[in-house]
């Protein structure tokens, strides 16, 4: 019988969203709430630590910024797919989040006059990226974690790999997890769950994301019957370092960096004459790929042709104080000192705009007791394209909202949980009697390589019917083949053969939702650019995609309207 551990509140994930949610719930309950936080890696190694460039917020109304302007930039950036009530809620919360972090001790970079500094970022018409050099995420994580330790004696479950989310009668019942260190399989129950499990960047081969970012929470929610929203919208960041894909933050361009083709031309003048290099990411990424396809790029390794990110004119002082990590990475990984030479880059799979469907409060509408915060969720803040620095901001905003909401819910629902032991035991059997005993000659590592390959080449910056159909067919084939993999490591302790297998199942589920959603959406909007449907089609497609599980392996699609409160869609020009 599986041992079951109980808490008031479970938080799946310890990135910026998970930590902020834990803090909000703790503050709301005056430190009394009994919280369990699970992370498949050491808590502070969550991908959030690698956020570089900044966090968006309106801090200077007296210098011309406003909530309305931040909201407009976000809605326009989203190609009008963002829900506008969500966007307004977001911009209103953010200034106090920045000040709260300041109070909690974060070392924000400052201006000469001592006030919090802000720098320009793509698609923002005012410099509103608050930052701590180019290590913003690291300092945010550290500050949130330190503060949480002071006010709540929460229980950490580091290196616990969550395998499923259990619901009963459309209500949260629990999680199942493997303690990687001992191999023990455990059940967890609580009155409420906040999913803060991050994005799914590792669907792709060329990506900025850590190896751990495999869409687990999204796939597990889907399996539990919770719909996934707008997953076809994947952001390609314009500047991934060749050949590793490590992010060269947009702050490089925010601080004044240029993009140049092989003729030395600042080609963005052709595509976005007023915002140039600081146009939104979808537009800059398409411009770079167009330059490369039309023969104005440099030849790169493994087909990774590239253009240049040129910082040489910024000078040593600016580069060493504002972009120290970028310089270090460029020097260590490709032997390029950005003070002297341009950096080789190309668009790279970066951010999932889509995620688990939630309402404006981060709550899953059809399921009680489940909230989602951060990149795993989709309350429709980013629509079809996210603006840089709006993501760490979203983690903070919805971390706060969901933490407070969950704490309120727990206080009100003081009844015991209806726990079904059988469900936990069955999940243990599925893994240790099913998966671990599975026979066959397929290799999970080969399946993963083939998936990355198909996503990189057929579900990339530019898409079309033929490639997407081939991608869907290939993903279905891989979903079949993975059933014939034998997990070779039969041990219990740190069985990474097993967790890699489960992660590959998760990425396959997310890839299926993404590719099939992209095939259906016959228009171009934000991060989803179809060669065969090059225009945005508001008449047919101004709507959100919802993907539901269909039978054992299928996906069923429904569509819901976009909330438009203030701005009707217009053509996007920069
Ligand atoms: C290199 C890089 C730079 C970026 N820079 C910026 C920036 O400057 N500004 C900005 O706004 N955004 C930036 N982003 C995006 C932003 O950092 C992320 O969207 C955000 O940090 C995601 O945070 P999160 O809390 O949702 O998830 P994460 O930080 O990814 O955390 C996910 C958590 O879930 C846990 N988890 C997942 N699956 C399981 C499982 N099966 N079992 C147990 N635990 C699990 C993980 O262990 C982890 O703790 C950047 C992203 C990258 C990759």
Mean pLDDT over residues 333-358, rounded? 98
Mean pLDDT over residues 361-388, rounded? 97
pLDDT value, residue 565: 98
155-158/3-6 β-pairing: unpaired
pLDDT value, residue 377: 98
Mutational test site, ligand 1, from 22, 198, 199, max ligand atoms within 8 Å of CB: 198
In a domain? residue 269: yes
Among residues 321, 347, 373, the one where a domain terminates is 347
Mean pLDDT over residues 488-495, rounded? 96
Q: Which domain holds residue 249?
A: 240-347
Among residues 329, 347, 365, the one where a domain terminates is 347
In a domain? residue 70: no
Helix axes 136-151, 84-103, angle to 10 degrees: 70
Query: At residue 147, does pLDDT exceed 90?
Result: yes
Buried b (16+ CB within 10 A) or exposed e, 211-237: ebbbbbbbbbbbebebbbbbbbbbbbb
- Local structure of 235: helix, strand or coil: strand
Residue nearest to ligand 1 atom 13, measured at CA: 51
**Structural domain total, the chain:** 2
**Cα(299) to centroid of ligand 1, in Å?**
32
CA angle 354, 355, 356 (to 5 degrees): 145
**Cα(201) to centroid of ligand 1, in Å?**
10
**Cα(539) to centroid of ligand 1, in Å?**
35
Query: At residue 436, does pLDDT exceed 90?
Result: yes
In a domain? residue 536: yes
Mean pLDDT over residues 51-79, rounded? 97
Residue nearest to ligand 1 atom 31, measured at CA: 15
- Of 486 and 153, the structure prediction assigns the larger pLDDT to 486
Average pLDDT of the chain, as a whole number = 97
Mutational test site, ligand 1, from 11, 12, 13, 160, max ligand atoms within 8 Å of CB: 13
Which residues are near ligand 1 (CB < 6 Å)?
12-18, 38-41, 46-48, 50-55, 136-137, 160-162, 196-199, 208-209, 212-213, 216-217, 247, 249, 351, 374-376, 389-393, 395
In a domain? residue 411: no
pLDDT tens per residue across span 216-249: 999 999 999 999 999 999 999 999 999 999 999 9
pLDDT band at 422 (very low <50, low <70, confident <90, very high): very high
Atom of ligand 1 nearest to the CA of 197: 34
Sign for the pseudo-dihedral over CA of 451, 456, 460, 465: negative
**Cα(374) to centroid of ligand 1, in Å?**
8
Atom of ligand 1 nearest to the CA of 177: 42
Residue nearest to ligand 1 atom 4, measured at CA: 51
pLDDT tens per residue across span 162-216: 999 999 999 999 999 999 999 999 999 999 999 999 999 999 999 999 999 999 9
H helices present in 60-83, as ranges: 67-77
In a domain? residue 333: yes
pLDDT tens per residue across span 79-101: 999 999 999 999 999 999 999 99
Query: At residue 552, does pLDDT exceed 90?
Result: no
pLDDT band at 428 (very low <50, low <70, confident <90, very high): very high
Mutational test site, ligand 1, from 124, 128, 137, max ligand atoms within 8 Å of CB: 137
pLDDT band at 415 (very low <50, low <70, confident <90, very high): confident
Q: What is the Cα–Cα distance from 202 to 456, expressed in whole angstroms?
A: 11
Mean pLDDT over residues 267-293, rounded? 96
Tokens representing 242?
A: 């060749």
Q: What is the Cα–Cα distance from 271 to 277, expressed in whole angstroms?
A: 10
pLDDT value, residue 417: 83
pLDDT tens per residue across span 438-478: 999 999 999 999 999 999 999 999 999 999 999 999 999 99
Residue nearest to ligand 1 atom 41, measured at CA: 162
CA angle 43, 383, 119 (to 5 degrees): 65
Q: Give yes or no: residues 336 and 430 share one domain.
A: no
Q: Of 181, 164, 160, 183, which Cα lies nearest the Cα of 432?
A: 183
Q: Give yes or no: residues 427 and 534 share one domain.
A: yes
Cis peptide before 243 (omega within 30 of 0): yes
**Cα(48) to centroid of ligand 1, in Å?**
4
Query: At residue 545, does pLDDT exceed 90?
Result: yes
Residue nearest to ligand 1 atom 35, measured at CA: 13
pLDDT value, residue 352: 96
pLDDT band at 153 (very low <50, low <70, confident <90, very high): confident
Mean pLDDT over residues 326-349, rounded? 97
**Cα(523) to centroid of ligand 1, in Å?**
29
Residue nearest to ligand 1 atom 14, measured at CA: 51
pLDDT value, residue 548: 98
In a domain? residue 235: no
Q: Give yes or no: residues 338 and 251 share one domain.
A: yes
Q: What is the Cα–Cα distance from 40 to 45, expressed in whole angstroms?
A: 10
Atom of ligand 1 nearest to the CA of 373: 26
Q: What is the CA radius of gyration of the chain?
A: 23
Mean pLDDT over residues 522-540, rounded? 98
Atom of ligand 1 nearest to the CA of 162: 42
Q: Give yes or no: residues 338 and 430 share one domain.
A: no
DSSP H or E segment with residue 318:
helix 316-322
**Cα(347) to centroid of ligand 1, in Å?**
19
Query: At residue 416, does pLDDT exceed 90?
Result: no
Atom of ligand 1 nearest to the CA of 43: 49
Residues 6+ apart with CB under 8 A from 424: 2, 4, 166, 174, 176, 187
Mutational test site, ligand 1, from 11, 46, 164, max ligand atoms within 8 Å of CB: 46
Tokens representing 520?
A: 């259906």
338 phi, psi to nearest 5 deg: -60, -15
**Cα(73) to centroid of ligand 1, in Å?**
23
Atom of ligand 1 nearest to the CA of 210: 53
Mean pLDDT over residues 342-368, rounded? 97
Annotated catalytic residues are 237, 253
Q: Of 194, 189, 141, which Cα lies nearest the Cα of 374?
A: 194
pLDDT tens per residue across span 493-502: 999 999 999 9
Q: Domain holding 283: CATH number?
A: 3.90.700.10
Q: What is the Cα–Cα distance from 373 to 309, expressed in whole angstroms?
A: 33
pLDDT band at 414 (very low <50, low <70, confident <90, very high): confident
Q: Could you tell me where the beta strands, DSSP code E, fall in 144-210?
A: 155-158, 160-168, 171-179, 185-189, 192-195
Q: What is the Cα–Cα distance from 211 to 203, expressed in whole angstroms?
A: 10
Q: What is the Cα–Cα distance from 32 to 407, expressed in whole angstroms?
A: 10
Confirm if 498 and 435 have CB atoms less than 8 A apart. Answer: yes
pLDDT value, residue 39: 98
In a domain? residue 531: yes
In a domain? residue 284: yes
Among residues 326, 347, 368, the one where a domain terminates is 347
Q: Give yes or no: residues 334 and 426 share one domain.
A: no
Q: What is the Cα–Cα distance from 429 to 424, expressed in whole angstroms?
A: 9
pLDDT value, residue 544: 98
Tokens representing 420?
A: 């079904």
Residues 6+ apart with CB under 8 A from 172: 165, 166, 190, 191, 192, 193, 367, 368, 369, 370
Q: Domain holding 476: CATH number?
A: 1.20.58.100
Q: How far is CA 13 from the centre of its chain?
A: 12
Residues 6+ apart with CB under 8 A from 542: 80, 81, 561, 562, 569
Give first-to-last CA distance, the chain, whole Å: 60
């Amino acid at each position: 019988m599986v041992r079951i551990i109980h808490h008031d509140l479970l938080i799946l994930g310890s990135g910026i969203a998970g930590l902020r949610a834990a803090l909000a719930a703790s503050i709301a309950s005056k430190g009394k709430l009994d919280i369990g936080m699970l992370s498949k890696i050491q808590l502070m190694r969550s991908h959030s630590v690698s956020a570089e460039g900044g966090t968006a917020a309106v801090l200077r109304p007296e210098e011309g910024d406003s909530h309305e302007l931040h909201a407009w930039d976000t809605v326009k950036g989203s190609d009008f797919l963002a829900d506008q009530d969500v966007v307004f809620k977001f911009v209103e919360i953010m200034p106090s989040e920045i000040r709260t972090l300041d109070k909690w001790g974060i070392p924000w970079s400052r201006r000469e006059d001592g006030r919090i500094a802000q720098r320009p970022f793509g698609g923002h018409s005012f410099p509103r990226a608050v930052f701590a050099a180019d290590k913003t995420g690291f300092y945010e994580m550290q500050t949130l974690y330190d503060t949480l330790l002071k006010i709540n004696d929460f229980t950490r479950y580091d290196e616990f790999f969550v395998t499923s989310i259990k619901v009963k009668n459309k209500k949260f019942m629990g999680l199942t997890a493997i303690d990687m260190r001992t191999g023990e399989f455990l059940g967890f129950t609580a009155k409420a769950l906040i999913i803060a499990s991050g994005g799914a960047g590792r669907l792709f081969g060329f990506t900025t994301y850590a190896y751990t970012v495999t869409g687990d929470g999204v796939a597990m929610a889907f399996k539990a019957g919770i719909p996934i929203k707008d997953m076809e919208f994947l952001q390609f960041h314009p500047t991934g370092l060749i050949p590793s894909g490590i992010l060269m933050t947009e702050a490089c361009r925010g601080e004044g960096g240029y993009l140049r083709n092989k003729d030395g031309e600042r080609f963005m003048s052709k595509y976005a004459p007023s915002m140039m290099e600081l146009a939104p990411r979808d537009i800059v990424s398409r411009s770079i790929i167009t330059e490369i396809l039309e023969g104005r790029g440099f030849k790169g390794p493994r087909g990774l042709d590239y253009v240049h990110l040129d910082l040489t004119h910024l000078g040593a002082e600016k580069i060493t104080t504002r972009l120290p990590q970028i310089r270090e990475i460029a020097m260590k990984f490709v032997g390029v000192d950005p003070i002297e030479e341009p950096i080789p880059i190309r668009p790279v799979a970066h951010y999932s705009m889509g995620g688990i469907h939630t309402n404006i409060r981060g709550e899953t509408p059809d399921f009680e007791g489940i909230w989602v915060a951060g990149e795993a969720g989709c309350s429709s803040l980013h629509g079809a394209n996210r603006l840089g620095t709006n993501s760490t901001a979203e983690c903070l905003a919805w971390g706060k909202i969901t933490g407070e909401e969950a704490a309120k819910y727990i206080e009100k629902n003081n009844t015991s949980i209806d726990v079904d032991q059988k469900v936990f035991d069955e999940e243990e059997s599925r893994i240790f009697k099913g998966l671990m005993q599975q026979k066959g000659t397929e290799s999970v590592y080969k399946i993963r390589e083939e998936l990355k390959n198909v996503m990189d080449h057929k579900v990339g910056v530019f898409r079309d019917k033929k490639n997407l159909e081939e991608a869907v067919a290939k993903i279905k084939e891989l979903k079949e083949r993975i059933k014939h993999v034998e997990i070779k490591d039969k041990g219990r302790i740190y069985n990474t053969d097993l967790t890699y297998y489960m992660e590959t199942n998760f990425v396959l589920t997310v890839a299926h939702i993404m590719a099939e959603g992209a095939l259906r959406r016959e228009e171009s909007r934000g991060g989803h650019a179809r060669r065969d449907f090059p225009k945005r089609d508001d008449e047919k497609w101004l709507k959100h995609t919802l993907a539901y599980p269909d039978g054992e392996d299928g996906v069923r699609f429904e569509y819901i309207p976009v909330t438009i409160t203030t701005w009707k869609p217009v053509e996007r020009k920069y």
